[in-house]
């Protein structure tokens, strides 16, 4: 009780100071990081991962707001800082206590949540014409989705972690973040990126779906690609999970090569070597083993892209590229 009282007193005493500093995030950086207060709306995988990372970096989590009361209470208990006041779970209190609020709900909920939070705030009357800085974590959605909160004086933006977060324990250090929004919100987003040793990547609001599609191709579809490679191994009699395990060092090696050499230099393999007979044996084996036509079609498409990359790398000449492309499109000799 005493802790809660001291906390409320602290909130009241530092109120003006914190809102005065909102427009100048640098004034709360460096040693003053301890003073930055934040809250998370949508304590799922991304929200909890970010909250934990910011807490480890010295920011103070003051509130958690979710949809399902039981899951919200669980998340709050997990994130509850030791020896600090109980986390706030009401927007009316959160918006007063937090300098920065991260909206980590699913993309489809952002417009609704922004509207609901703004309605709550509006009913109570806005504070000094301002509210906390609000940043959502979606890569595909522009920050304009938060317009109802901006209308009430909140600076709004988006801070998208370019990382796959399969669970709330995922690390967010050293990654790239897609950033977009109001000048003041972007300044705060940059502050978060800096704090977590990351790299900020400014993204045009209109191009965000394209930016997000790139993330999906590189991350989600890599998982799909691994699954398809495992399917080929399964056709060769190697069980799926064993196949995935066997492929992992190869995949890590390929990623390390891209990191070390860049593209197109990192490309290796039969297409890169101009090895037509090997590509032909692949296609024959697909037919012999009854590999799914969709998988064969994808092999062919990606093979044609590999021809383009090999040509760019200079590892094959134009004639070899043409013969390989004809084989892969099915317009040339496949055997």
Ligand X SMILES: NC(=O)c1ccc[n+]([C@@H]2O[C@H](COP(=O)([O-])OP(=O)(O)OC[C@H]3O[C@@H](n4cnc5c(N)ncnc54)[C@H](OP(=O)(O)O)[C@@H]3O)[C@@H](O)[C@H]2O)c1
| Closer Cβ to ligand X, 140 or 304, answer by number | 140
Rounded-to-integer distance, Cα 220 and Cα 213, Å: 10
Minimum distance from CB of 138 to ligand X (Å)? Answer: 4
Q: If binding is defined by CB under 6 A, does position 46 make contact with ligand X?
A: yes
| Closer Cβ to ligand X, 56 or 112, answer by number | 112
| Closer Cβ to ligand X, 164 or 252, answer by number | 164
| Closer Cβ to ligand X, 28 or 97, answer by number | 97
CA 5 to chain centre: 37
Which residue of 28, 37, 43, 118 would you call a contact of ligand X, by CB under 6 A?
43
Binders of ligand X among 272-301, rule CB under 6 A? none
Binders of ligand X among 92-151, rule CB under 6 A? 104-107, 109, 112-113, 137-139
| Closer Cβ to ligand X, 96 or 136, answer by number | 136
Angle at alpha carbon of residue 165, lines to 84 and 90, rounded to 5°: 40
Of all residues in this chain, which one has the CB nearest to ligand X in the complex?
44
Which residue of 45, 115, 313, 322 would you call a contact of ligand X, by CB under 6 A?
45
Minimum distance from CB of 180 to ligand X (Å)? Answer: 13
Minimum distance from CB of 141 to ligand X (Å)? Answer: 7
For helices 276-288 and 318-329, what crossing angle results, to 10°?
A: 10
> Helix, strand, coil % (nearest 5) of the chain?
60, 10, 30
Rounded-to-integer distance, Cα 161 and Cα 120, Å: 28
Rounded-to-integer distance, Cα 211 and Cα 219, Å: 13
- Closest by CA to 267, choosing from 224, 225, 321, 305, is 305
Q: If binding is defined by CB under 6 A, does position 44 make contact with ligand X?
A: yes
Rounded-to-integer distance, Cα 66 and Cα 91, Å: 10
Q: If binding is defined by CB under 6 A, does position 270 make contact with ligand X?
A: no
Tell me, residue by residue from 59 to 88, as one string, x for binding to ligand X by CB under 6 A and - for no binding.
Answer: ------xxxx--x-----------------
For helices 293-313 and 276-288, what crossing angle results, to 10°?
A: 170
| Closer Cβ to ligand X, 25 or 42, answer by number | 42
| Closer Cβ to ligand X, 49 or 133, answer by number | 49
* Beta-bridge partner residues of 156: 134
| Closer Cβ to ligand X, 64 or 321, answer by number | 64
What SS3 state is found at 165?
coil
For residue 264, whether the previous peptide bond is cis, meaning omega lies within 30 degrees of 0, is yes
- The terminus-to-terminus CA distance of the chain in angstroms comes to 80
How many residues of this chain interact with ligand X, rule: CB under 6 A?
27
Rounded-to-integer distance, Cα 238 and Cα 301, Å: 25
Binders of ligand X among 146-185, rule CB under 6 A? 160-161, 163-165
Minimum distance from CB of 154 to ligand X (Å)? Answer: 17
Contacts with ligand X by CB under 6 A lie at 41-47, 65-68, 71, 104-107, 109, 112-113, 137-139, 160-161, 163-165
């Amino acid at each position: 009780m005493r802790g809660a009282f001291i906390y409320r007193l602290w909130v009241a005493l530092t109120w003006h100071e914190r809102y005065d500093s909102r427009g100048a995030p640098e004034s709360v950086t460096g040693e003053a990081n301890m003073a930055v207060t934040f809250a998370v709306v949508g304590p799922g995988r991304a929200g909890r991962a970010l909250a934990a990372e910011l807490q480890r970096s010295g920011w103070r989590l003051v509130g958690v707001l979710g949809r399902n009361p039981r899951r919200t209470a669980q998340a709050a208990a997990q994130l509850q800082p030791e020896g600090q006041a109980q986390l706030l779970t009401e927007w009316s209190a959160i918006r007063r206590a937090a300098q920065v609020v991260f909206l980590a709900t699913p993309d489809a909920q952002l417009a609704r949540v922004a509207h609901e939070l703004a309605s709550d705030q509006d009913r109570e009357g806005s504070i000094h014409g301002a509210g906390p800085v609000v940043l959502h974590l979606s890569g595909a959605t522009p920050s304009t989705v938060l317009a109802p909160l901006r209308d009430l004086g909140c600076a709004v933006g988006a801070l998208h972690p370019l990382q796959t977060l399969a669970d709330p324990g995922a690390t967010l250090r050293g990654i790239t973040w897609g950033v977009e929004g109001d000048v003041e919100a972007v300044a705060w987003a940059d502050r978060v990126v800096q704090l977590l040793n990351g790299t900020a990547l400014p993204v045009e609001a209109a191009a965000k779906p394209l930016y997000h599609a790139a993330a999906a191709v590189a991350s989600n579809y890599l998982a799909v690609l691994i699954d398809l490679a495992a399917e080929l191994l399964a056709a060769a009699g190697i069980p799926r999970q064993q196949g995935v395990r066997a492929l992992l060092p190869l995949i890590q090696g390929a990623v390390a090569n891209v990191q070390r050499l860049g593209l197109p230099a990192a490309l290796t393999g039969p297409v890169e070597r101009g090895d037509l007979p090997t590509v032909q044996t692949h296609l024959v084996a697909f037919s012999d083993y009854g590999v799914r036509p969709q998988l064969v079609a994808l092999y062919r498409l990606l093979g044609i892209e590999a021809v383009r990359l090999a040509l760019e790398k200079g590892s094959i000449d134009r004639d070899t590229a043409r013969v390989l492309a004809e084989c892969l499109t099915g317009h040339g000799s496949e055997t």
